[in-house]
Structure 1
Amino acid sequence: MRLDKFLKVSRLIKRRTVAKEVADKGRIKLNGVLAKSSSTVKYDDILTIQFGNKIVEVRVLETKDSTKKEDAGKMYELLSETRINQDVKEEESR
Structure 2
Amino acid sequence: MRIDKYLKLSRIIKRRTIAQEACDAGRVMINNKVAKASTDVKIGDVIEIRFGEQTTKYEVVQIKEHVKKEETADLYRIV
What 5-or-longer segments of structure 1 have no aligned partner? 80-94
Taking the aligned partners of 1:6 and 1:51, their CA distance within structure 2 comes to 18
**How do residues 40-59 of structure 1 correspond to structure 2 at under 5 angstroms?**
40-59=40-59
Structure of greater Rg? 1
Counterpart in 1 of 2:5? 5
Taking the aligned partners of 1:73 and 1:20, their CA distance within structure 2 comes to 21
Structure number with greater CO (CA < 8 Å, separation at least 6) is 2
Length-normalised TM-score, structure 2: 0.97
Counterpart in 1 of 2:31? 31
What's the Cα RMSD here? 0.7
Taking the aligned partners of 2:38 and 2:27, their CA distance within structure 1 comes to 14
Structure 1 position 51, deviation (Å): 1.6
What count of residue pairs does the alignment treat as equivalent?
79
Letter in structure 1 aligned against 2:65: D
Alpha-carbon displacement from aligned partner over 1:28-77 (angstroms, at most 9, x marks no partner): 11000000000000100000001223110010001111211110011000
Superposition misfits of 4+ residues, deviation over 3 angstroms:
none
Taking the aligned partners of 1:23 and 1:8, their CA distance within structure 2 comes to 12
Report SS of the residue matched to 1:59: strand
Q: Percent identity?
A: 43
Taking the aligned partners of 2:44 and 2:70, their CA distance within structure 1 comes to 21
Counterpart in 2 of 1:65? 65
Length-normalised TM-score, structure 1: 0.82
What 5-or-longer segments of structure 2 have no aligned partner? none
